Structure 1
Amino acid sequence: MPTLSRRAMLLGGLATSLALPRPAGAQAGRDAPAFPPSRIVSMDFGLAETLIEMGLPPIAIPNPGEWADWVVEPALPPGIANLGTDREPNLEVLAALKPDLIVSTPYLDGIKLLLERFAPTRTFSVYAPPVGSAYARSISATRALAADVGRRDAGEELIARAQATMEETRRQLATAGLAGRSLLVVNFLDTRHVRVYGKGSLFGDVMERTGLVNSWTKPSNYWGFSTVGIEELADSPASSLVYLEPISTDTLDRLAASPLWNSLPFVKAGRIHRLPPVLMFGMLPSAMRFARQIARVLVEASSNG
């Protein structure tokens, strides 16, 4: 990107966007791709994780070195080429790869014509106006992507596996007496500001499906979050706080010394949980990872008193 790296986008407010597809598939580029395509470039981590879970990993993505910081699982297979940044991809690498298909997002519509010089380009949307359900849109985008790459059965299997994960997590939490537990889920931007995930976010949708309560009820943007000062989290005094990695040690140290932070109800009560990284703007694989991780952390905390 010229002014925004993927890391800045993830931390600072501009999300990757995935697309609500047309019934017959996604929005088409100029030409039809080879079918089924085998050399697919993904311009987005959420689409890439979906392709991996369907057994057709992309041959290249932007900034693969950041995968372990934001996605973690599914693991990124070895040998995936580095396209550079998503808004300024390395065109020499892209040309040398000779892709059959490029999958992208509305966030990158500004370079769609450029991408179409190298291969037919499809756009998929989950995080785009109007505000909606990221989980439901992920199902639609998964079906459209699966159709475009000739993996309809794999797409349906992924959708079913995600549903089974939600149901199993719901049972696990209920058995542990955690059904109805109220949570605030955040990423720290600095010691005074967080991104808190509300209704329609991927995390909010997973909480709803697994029997948890999302305590953040104020309006969110179409990415599913609000950026607020940490003092606003006091509006939900009975909630527990879940914060996601990555977070710097410096931020944690400064929070520990902050009178404002230490005055918050969930801090006083010790109702704080740290979660490993989960892609906040991901698709069904990220939804499953979030469900598994939130259940693990909450059940372990409950068992330890």
Structure 2
Amino acid sequence: MRRTTALFAAALFAATALTACGTSEPTSSSDASDAAAQPVSLTDGRNKKLDLKAPAAKVVALEWGAAENLVSLGVMPVGVADTKGYTNWVTAAKLDPSVKDVGTRGEASVDAIVALNPDLVITTTDEAANTIAQIEKAAPVLVIRGADAANAIPQMKTNLEMIGTAVGKAEQAKQINADFDKAVADGKQKIADAGKAGEGFTMADGYKQGSTISIRMYTTGSLLGAVTTELGLKNGWTGAGDKDYGLAQTDLEGLTKLKDGNFLYIANKNDGGDVFGGDLAGNAIWKNLPFVKSGNVHRLPDGIWMFGGPKSTEQFIDATVQAVTS
């Protein structure tokens, strides 16, 4: 989904120079603080207008993507939902130890949030409406759309810019998005230079519950699927995903319809382990899949958040380019 400074000495120098030349009015050392105190008005993901007396400084984030964006913009949140999980999954923008845990994602503690006396609480359209209503009794709430499978990359950028506006870091948000665009272009060029443009890929993660292994496929509507397509690769999973996150559910048998190509997957040793490299490693069906037999299975590094902002997604770009071109 951010900053202006003015040095007192520089302001005095500018004032003296302008007066000597007979030109316009001098600047003041209070200009920056005055700008920082200006009211903020924006329309959030609910199409609801949000008015703040000044850019928010004490912010609670109830979704990891929002927390990542805050840290990327130089605003350390005072509270985050499930800080332990965030630490495991989001390495692109690390939290300070001082950040308070305010409960779980999807079931945050309203009391813990209110105790922090925040200027702003950021959540997503996935949050329960009654929870948002409770929080709004104590603090302004900015609701961003969690994801949009019809516009995955633009939605990611919009969320960062919306948060940037709310915390007075609009220019920084634009720069981060521009840096992301450059990372995509650079990654695409590296893949093309390696002669890999147009190669097939599939992207997945997997979880084990009891003896059942569930596999999530990242369609072209998912953020990571959309980014990998932008890098010049072709998604081998043609089935539709959900309307928000672009994810499709399957099982091991569902992978048998895939052709050879780069099978990219994300796992986490601290949360769920590696079902592809562990549980399925000795499975006859898995071992006979085309991409397994050809050695095109790539586990990406732990700590890349699949539903994050530009910084996490840049980590994914670097890892994907490395996997495909090595």
2:203 equivalent among 185, 188, 195: 185
1:109 equivalent among 115, 128, 135: 128
Matched residue type, 1:233: L
Q: Is contact 2:50-2:142 (8 Å) kept?
A: no
Q: Which moved more, 1:100-109 or 1:75-84?
A: 75-84
Which consecutive aligned stretches of 4+ in structure 1 deviate over 4 angstroms post-superposition? 27-31
User: Matched residues in 2 for 1:67 and 1:94: separation?
Assistant: 17
Which secondary structure state, in structure 2, belongs to the residue aligned with residue 36 of structure 1? Answer: coil
What is the TM-score when the length of structure 2 is the normalising length?
A: 0.78
Q: Is contact 1:135-1:287 (8 Å) kept?
A: no
Does 2:71 align with 1:59? no
Q: How does 1:51-90 map to 2 (within 5 A)?
A: 51-90=70-109
Aligned to 1:5: none
What is the TM-score when the length of structure 1 is the normalising length?
A: 0.83
Aligned to 2:147: 127
Q: Which moved more, 1:185-194 or 1:26-35?
A: 26-35
Q: How does 1:132-151 map to 2 (within 5 A)?
A: 132-151=150-169
Q: Is contact 1:169-1:291 (8 Å) kept?
A: yes
Does 2:304 align with 1:283? no
- CA-CA distance at 1:72 after TM superposition: 1.7
Would the alpha carbon gap of residues 34 and 174 (structure 1) be closer, same or farther in structure 2, given more than 3 Å must change? same
| Larger RCO, structure (CA 8 Å, separation 6 or more) | 1
Q: Is contact 1:195-1:225 (8 Å) kept?
A: yes
Matched residue type, 1:268: K
Does 2:246 align with 1:224? yes
Deviations 1:114-162 (A, max 9, x none): 111221001100425xx41211111122222222222110110111011
User: Matched residues in 1 for 2:87 and 2:102: separation?
Assistant: 16
User: Matched residues in 2 for 1:145 and 1:104: separation?
Assistant: 11
Cα RMSD (Å): 2.2
1:260 equivalent among 278, 285, 293: 285
User: Matched residues in 2 for 1:250 and 1:39: separation?
Assistant: 39
2:322 equivalent among 296, 299, 304: 296
User: Matched residues in 1 for 2:122 and 2:177: separation?
Assistant: 19
Would the alpha carbon gap of residues 31 and 157 (structure 1) be closer, same or farther in structure 2, given more than 3 Å must change? closer
Aligned to 1:176: 194
User: Matched residues in 1 for 2:311 and 2:273: separation?
Assistant: 25
User: Matched residues in 2 for 1:160 and 1:31: separation?
Assistant: 26
Aligned to 1:162: 180
Matched residue type, 2:153: Y
Between structures 1 and 2, the one with greater strand share: 2
User: Matched residues in 1 for 2:50 and 2:156: separation?
Assistant: 25
Aligned to 2:65: 46
Which secondary structure state, in structure 2, belongs to the residue aligned with residue 205 of structure 1? Answer: helix
Deviations 1:148-179 (A, max 9, x none): 22211011011101101111111222222222
Count of matched residue positions in the alignment of Structure 1 and Structure 2: 276
- CA-CA distance at 1:31 after TM superposition: 6.8
2:260 equivalent among 212, 234, 238: 238
Q: Is contact 2:65-2:307 (8 Å) kept?
A: yes
- CA-CA distance at 1:251 after TM superposition: 6.2
Q: Is contact 1:275-1:293 (8 Å) kept?
A: yes
Higher gyration radius (CA):
2
Q: Is contact 1:183-1:212 (8 Å) kept?
A: yes
Would the alpha carbon gap of residues 192 and 260 (structure 1) be closer, same or farther in structure 2, given more than 3 Å must change? farther
User: Matched residues in 2 for 1:90 and 1:282: separation?
Assistant: 22
Which secondary structure state, in structure 1, belongs to the residue aligned with residue 104 of structure 2? Answer: coil
- CA-CA distance at 1:29 after TM superposition: 7.0
Q: Is contact 2:61-2:80 (8 Å) kept?
A: yes
Does 2:236 align with 1:204? no
